[in-house]
């Protein structure tokens, strides 16, 4: 429990946490120092709580980012400044309604640990319940969905463990207003000891009801013990009131009587600088105490409420032996997630490719998406700030041969000309094939285009649909084209196919394979016949089978992909990277294989996959794949790929990571 109960018991008190989304917000917030803050990466968790575990601070709260009340998200930080999330075990959620009591109104969670288990007390449907998990990121569950107490309406639970080991539930009961009560808990958290139930306090002072409401509100209790005294932090006024604020009451017994500090409120819009400041929780980092709370979104708008943090000092009052909490409001700040989810770019592209153009000393980013019947591009000086340069290729041109599905462009500078290789649906389709994809090449004098088709037809026709062109120029001057044969009308027999057909009732298992072929010096003609280079494994016991067959083994779809190939020469050998699994699914991932020649025999790496989803481990990214490699202006190798996050949903966005080779010359993607 955040056992903020005993004598500076740091480890019993502290939090667990992780990452988010947002409403259709256009406003700009201001920090306490007056500086403008964008809401884009803000954390929108009301009634927040923080739990510390194993080097991380975990943040939970009432969702306010546009999601329905489906449960509780969790965010995570090592230093209280850089937050990741949401990282909950179920699409960012640590608890979801299907696993516990409640169907709506999920409010005010609190998390603690005890004997290797993690507990969450929470409100749902104006009832209190407790769920359990093996991890701070969940999933928190109840074997039997049930409430902690019968009768009446209760909200805002706070579990407190005293020095003698007894556990107490501070909470709010809706009776003639929101009133704060306490009761001793049963040791197994199955309920309260009804005979111990007692009211602690209710709103009765002018600052606690500035609107003169007939339903006065006191809520959000958090309790701390220091020496012989108990300190209760609570909030008063309706949460929609700008005067929502925090006060403190003191008692020498957990059941009271509770005496309110004369200088209340101790935290309000007057010293925080934000309307609606309140309903938080105490926790400690080292010897410093902090209060995590929420504020209104803006002066004019209550929701989504934003999460904020402020240091709290416990100052001794002369002669009384009592501590007086003092909020360091000069350090009051709003919380934000880390910069764009693990070095992602604010560009909605699939199949990304970056060209560093030395003549202009600029980077150009190409990819799938952003326009119809062609491609747009972005430019950048620093790989951080990107500017759209407009449409660089339009399929509706005199010699255009494609009709739709313009995918995966790559651009190369050769002899002062820029060559774009891309995939599209070929208009010559006498068999009316559903997938009639081919690869074309267009040429421009500038990386920003316009790129023009020269022949009015694809580069070549192998007799089956192909996509994902990758061009490689070797050190001996030879050129090569690599591509993927589509799954379409390509059923393949294998042990895995037999298993999947038996398991899921599929008629066939279709596959895509990677091929390579030599290009002539004009970069527009193929030489010889294509060679099959990489395909999905055939045997169940193949080490690559598990990760390359996830879309089939999970019953997601009856296809296995090998696509998005990219060839790199390094360390005296050739590294071919490729993507496997359903491109629109969470399991899309990247592996690589090595060879001694571009069209030679490739051996897959035992370290595969080297890029994959991290949602199984508390992260927010899935659907990672179709990468390419580029050198920056300093000659450093970088990997670019697309993925999806819990925030972006189905929209693919671009990520850039560094690559390196270990002592065994294994290619690795550096994680952050």
pLDDT digits (tens, 9 = 90+) for 377-410: 999 999 988 999 999 999 999 999 999 999 999 9
Do 93 and 164 lie in a common domain?
yes
343 confidence band (pLDDT: 50, 70, 90)? low
Do 483 and 549 lie in a common domain?
yes
Q: Which residue has the higher pLDDT, 184 or 622?
A: 184
Do 350 and 283 lie in a common domain?
no
Percent of the chain with pLDDT over 70: 91
**Structure-block tokens of residue 569:** 């020469």
User: What is d(CA 524, CA 521) in angstroms, rounded to the nearest whole number?
Assistant: 8
pLDDT digits (tens, 9 = 90+) for 240-249: 999 999 999 9
Q: Given a cut of 90, is residue 7 above it in pLDDT?
A: no
Percent of the chain with pLDDT over 90: 81
Does residue 382 have an active-site annotation?
A: no
Assess if residue 665 is contained within a domain.
Answer: yes
Confidence at residue 85, expressed as pLDDT on a 0 to 100 scale: 80
Do 243 and 376 lie in a common domain?
no
Do 257 and 397 lie in a common domain?
no
Domain that holds residue 459: 344-669
pLDDT digits (tens, 9 = 90+) for 311-330: 999 988 766 778 889 999 99
Task: Please give the helix or strand (H or E) that residue 442 lies within, else none.
Answer: strand 437-444
**Residue after which a domain boundary falls, among 266, 295, 324:** 295
CA distances from 81 to 49, 218, 334, 569, 623 (A): 15, 30, 10, 40, 28
pLDDT digits (tens, 9 = 90+) for 134-152: 999 999 999 999 999 998 9
**Residue after which a domain boundary falls, among 237, 265, 295:** 295
Confidence at residue 615, expressed as pLDDT on a 0 to 100 scale: 74
Assess if residue 334 is contained within a domain.
Answer: no
618 confidence band (pLDDT: 50, 70, 90)? low
Query: In the predicted model, what is the mean pLDDT of the chain?
Result: 90
Assess if residue 551 is contained within a domain.
Answer: yes
Do 417 and 493 lie in a common domain?
yes
Confidence at residue 641, expressed as pLDDT on a 0 to 100 scale: 96
Assess if residue 119 is contained within a domain.
Answer: yes
Could you tell me the CATH number of the domain that includes residue 212? 2.115.10.20
User: Which one of 184, 219, 351, 453 is the catalytic residue?
Assistant: 351
Do 152 and 214 lie in a common domain?
yes
Do 466 and 566 lie in a common domain?
yes
DSSP result, 83-103: EE---BTBTBEEEEGGGSS-S
Q: Please enumerate in sequence order all residues whose Cβ is within 8 A of that of 58, keeping only pairs 6 or more positions apart, or say none.
A: 15, 16, 17, 18, 50, 51, 52, 74, 75, 76, 111, 136, 137
pLDDT digits (tens, 9 = 90+) for 30-82: 333 333 333 446 799 999 999 999 999 999 999 875 445 689 999 999 999 98
Does the global pTM surpass 0.75? no
Confidence at residue 315, expressed as pLDDT on a 0 to 100 scale: 85
Assess if residue 24 is contained within a domain.
Answer: no
Do 405 and 488 lie in a common domain?
yes
Q: Of 526, 70, 577, 43, which Cα lies nearest the Cα of 309?
A: 43
pLDDT digits (tens, 9 = 90+) for 218-235: 999 999 999 999 999 999
**Residue after which a domain boundary falls, among 270, 295, 320:** 295
Q: Given a cut of 90, is residue 445 above it in pLDDT?
A: yes
pLDDT digits (tens, 9 = 90+) for 508-538: 999 999 999 999 999 999 999 999 999 999 9
Assess if residue 95 is contained within a domain.
Answer: yes
Do 420 and 282 lie in a common domain?
no
Assess if residue 26 is contained within a domain.
Answer: no
Assess if residue 411 is contained within a domain.
Answer: yes
Does residue 563 have an active-site annotation?
A: yes
Q: Given a cut of 50, is residue 3 above it in pLDDT?
A: no
How many domains does one find in the chain? 2
The answer to whether the CB of 221 falls within 8 A of the CB of 181 is: no
């Amino acid at each position: 429990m955040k056992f903020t109960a005993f004598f500076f018991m740091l480890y019993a008190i502290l939090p667990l946490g992780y990452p988010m989304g947002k409403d259709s917000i256009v406003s700009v917030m201001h920090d306490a120092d007056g500086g403008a803050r964008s809401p884009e990466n803000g954390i929108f968790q009301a009634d927040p709580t923080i739990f510390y575990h194993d080097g991380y601070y975990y943040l939970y709260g009432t969702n306010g980012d546009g999601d329905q009340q489906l449960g509780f998200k969790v965010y995570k930080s090592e230093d209280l400044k850089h937050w990741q999330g949401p990282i909950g075990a179920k699409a960012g959620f640590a608890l979801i309604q299907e696993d516990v009591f409640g169907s709506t109104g999920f409010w005010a969670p609190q998390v603690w640990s005890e004997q290797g288990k993690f507990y969450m007390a929470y409100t749902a449907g104006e009832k209190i319940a407790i769920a359990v998990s093996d991890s701070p990121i969940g999933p928190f569950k109840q074997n039997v969905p049930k409430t902690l107490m019968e009768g009446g309406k209760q909200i805002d639970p706070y579990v407190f463990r005293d020095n003698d080991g007894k556990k107490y539930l501070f909470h709010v009961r809706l009776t003639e207003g929101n009133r704060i009560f306490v009761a001793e808990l049963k040791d197994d958290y199955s309920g309260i000891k009804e005979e111990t139930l007692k009211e602690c306090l209710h709103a009765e002072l002018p600052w606690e009801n500035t609107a003169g409401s007939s339903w006065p509100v006191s809520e959000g209790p958090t309790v701390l013990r220091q020496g012989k005294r108990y300190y209760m932090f609570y909030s008063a006024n309706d949460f929609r009131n700008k005067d929502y604020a925090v006060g403190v009451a003191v008692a020498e017994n957990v059941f009271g009587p509770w005496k309110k500090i004369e200088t209340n409120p101790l935290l309000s819009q007057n010293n925080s600088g934000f309307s609606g400041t309140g309903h938080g929780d105490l926790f400690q980092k080292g010897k410093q105490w902090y209060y995590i709370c929420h504020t209104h979104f803006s002066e004019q708008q209550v929701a989504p409420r934003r999460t904020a943090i402020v240091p709290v000092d416990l100052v001794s009052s002369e002669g009384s032996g009592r501590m007086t909490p003092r909020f360091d409001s000069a350090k009051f700040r709003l919380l934000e997630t880390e910069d764009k989810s693990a070095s992602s770019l604010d560009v909605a592209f699939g199949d990304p490719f970056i060209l560093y153009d030395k003549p202009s000393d600029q980077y150009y980013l190409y990819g799938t998406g952003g326009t119809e019947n062609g491609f747009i591009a972005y430019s950048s000086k620093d790989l951080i700030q990107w500017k759209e340069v407009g449409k660089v290729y339009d399929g509706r041109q005199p010699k255009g041969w494609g009709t739709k599905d313009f995918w995966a462009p790559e651009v190369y500078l050769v002899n002062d000309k820029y060559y774009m290789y891309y995939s599209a649906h070929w208009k010559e389709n006498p068999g009316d094939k559903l997938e009639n994809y081919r690869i074309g090449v267009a040429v421009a004098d500038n990386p920003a285009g316009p790129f023009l088709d020269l022949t009015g037809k694809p580069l070549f026709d192998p007799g089956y649909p192909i996509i994902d062109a990758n061009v490689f120029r070797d050190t001996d001057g030879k050129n090569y084209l690599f591509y993927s044969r589509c799954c379409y009308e390509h059923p393949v027999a294998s042990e895995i196919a037999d298993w999947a057909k038996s398991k899921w009732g599929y008629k066939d298992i279709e596959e895509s394979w990677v091929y390579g072929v030599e290009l002539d010096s004009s970069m527009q003609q193929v030489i010889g016949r294509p060679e099959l280079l990489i395909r999905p494994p055939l045997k169940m016991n193949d080490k690559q089978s598990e990760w390359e067959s996830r879309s089939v083994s999970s019953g997601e779809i009856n296809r296995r992909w090998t696509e998005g190939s990219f060839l790199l020469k390094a360390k005296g050998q050739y590294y071919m990277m490729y993507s496997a699994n359903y491109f629109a699914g969470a399991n899309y991932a990247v592996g690589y294989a090595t060879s001694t020649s571009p069209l030679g025999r490739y051996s897959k790496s035992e370290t595969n996959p080297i890029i994959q989803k991290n949602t199984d481990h508390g992260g927010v990214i899935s659907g990672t794949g179709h990468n390419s490699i580029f050198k920056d202006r300093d000659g450093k190798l970088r990997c670019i790929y697309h993925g999806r996050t819990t925030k972006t949903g189905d929209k693919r966005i671009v990520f850039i990571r560094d690559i390196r080779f270990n002592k065994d010359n294994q290619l690795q993607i550096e994680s952050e």
